[in-house]
Amino acid sequence: MSFTPLPDTRAPVRVWTDPDAIEEQALRQLRNIGALPWVEGVAVMPDVHFGKGATVGSVIAMRQAVSPAAVGVDIGCGMSAVRTSLTASDLPDDLAPLRSAIEAAIPVGFAKHDRMVDPRRLRGLEQGGWDDFWRRFDDLDRRVQQLRDRAQHQMGSLGGGNHFIEVCLEQGGDDEGRVWLMLHSGSRNIGKELAERHMAVARGLPHNADLPDRDLAVFLAGTPEMAAYRRDLWWAQEYARRNRAVMLALLCNVLREHLPQVRYDEPISCHHNYVSEETYDGVEVLVTRKGAIRAGAGDLGIIPGSMGTGSYIVRGRGNPDAYCSASHGAGRRMSRNQAKRTFTTEDLAAQTAGVECRKDPGVVDEIPGAYKDIVEVMAQQKDLVEVFAHLKQVVCVKG
């Protein structure tokens, strides 16, 4: 489908789903965003749902301004995936030991590595720039300097919530049954701490006093507040990218220990909570993708469903109406608390049948039934991406 314009907004708000299906809270947020004087336009993805300040599943193009709450607290959150040489027949019948090995190698939840991961000892990991990257920690907001040790030991760790690590099988086509590795994570605690500090600063600036939602407070170009935020933002986005790269290298090593014959293709990696400098129709804008991936022409990206429904590797079509973007996943159709009230562990077991994963009360809020139908979400964005590969998980690790 093509987009539907949302009426009665100052800036164009283009919607890639049925506007009547969007919850009222999210519609109110979208209209608030479209009313901001700095906004050039908004693209709304089919996985859109209510978020803090800005809707999750929105792409916001601003001139000379950026809203830290629109980026969110998990700066640089995104996905990485790699196709292996293995097929389903190479995997053991019992996948529980493989899941246990992954959980032993990669800390989940609030956990961190006992020792800082040494990139030089990880096969397949890019070696460049690590010393300079950690040196630049000293340039960050002074209020996070005491978090350096924690940030270093959380490098290469998963986190909790909707973050995951999966072993998947390709569905259909010439590569039916090919094994993929996939993971979803971001900038861990350090990204959250940086985001919250800058969000608090933005809310206190005079030019944000009369906004319809103080969580949409912005920094303006040419100000020291904007310079400080962009410095910390770029660093946190790099932290998230390197965090996923370390985890993927650890994950590849785990599989290599179990199946030494494995070989790997080039990895795919994409942010879906981040800011990028881009140009459309000759206008330079700061594009914030909050729950959206870049889908420029030919770009490979990753759109996951939920822990029982599978995922998609996609190739972007470069649609400028959507600021060359696509959805970041299926998107929640109910809150975590509502999911816990609605579903049981028995429901979770039924909906994740055939997947080696946790099936306990701690992950009921991540049950597939709490998410939108990924097949429908993909159908609504055919003019944004084409499917490169359809994957179905057989192992899922959650924090």
- Number of alpha helices (DSSP H) and beta strands (DSSP E) in the chain: 10, 17
Q: Is 80 annotated as a binding residue?
A: no
Q: Is 328 annotated as a binding residue?
A: yes
Q: Give the ranges where the chain is alpha helix by DSSP (H).
A: 24-35, 68-71, 96-105, 130-135, 148-154, 188-203, 224-258, 336-342, 345-351, 374-379
Q: Is 74 annotated as a binding residue?
A: yes
What's the start-to-end Cα distance of the chain, in Å? 36
User: Of 342, 359, 347, 371, whose CA–CA distance to 396 is shortest?
Assistant: 359
Q: Is 52 annotated as a binding residue?
A: no
User: Residue 13 in contact with residue 27, Cβ under 8 Å?
Assistant: no
Q: Is 190 annotated as a binding residue?
A: no
Q: Is 116 annotated as a binding residue?
A: no
Q: Is 23 annotated as a binding residue?
A: no
Q: Is 170 annotated as a binding residue?
A: no
Q: Are strands 325-327 and 268-271 parallel, antiparallel or unpaired?
A: unpaired
Helix, strand, or coil (residue 254): helix
Q: Is 225 annotated as a binding residue?
A: no
Strand partners, 4: 15
User: Residue 117 in contact with residue 249, Cβ under 8 Å?
Assistant: no
Q: Is 207 annotated as a binding residue?
A: no
The token pair at 122 is 């990880």
Q: Is 307 annotated as a binding residue?
A: yes
Q: Is 271 annotated as a binding residue?
A: no
Calpha distance 235→250 (Å, rounded): 22
Q: Which of 49, 198, 271, 328 is catalytic?
A: 328
Q: Is 304 annotated as a binding residue?
A: yes
Q: Is 208 annotated as a binding residue?
A: no
User: Residue 399 in contact with residue 108, Cβ under 8 Å?
Assistant: yes
Q: Is 306 annotated as a binding residue?
A: yes
Q: Is 328 a residue of the active site?
A: yes
The CA-atom distances, in angstroms, between 285 and each of 29, 233, 265, 279, 390 are 21, 16, 34, 6, 33
Strand partners, 275: 288
Calpha distance 326→102 (Å, rounded): 30
Q: Is 330 annotated as a binding residue?
A: yes
Which positions are catalytic?
A: 328
Which residues are part of a known binding site for GMP?
Answer: 162-166, 272-273, 304-307, 311, 328-331, 398
- Annotated binding-site residues read 74, 162-166, 184, 272-273, 304-307, 311, 328-331, 398
User: Which amino acids are annotated as binding site for Mn(2+), given as ranges?
Assistant: 74, 163, 184, 272
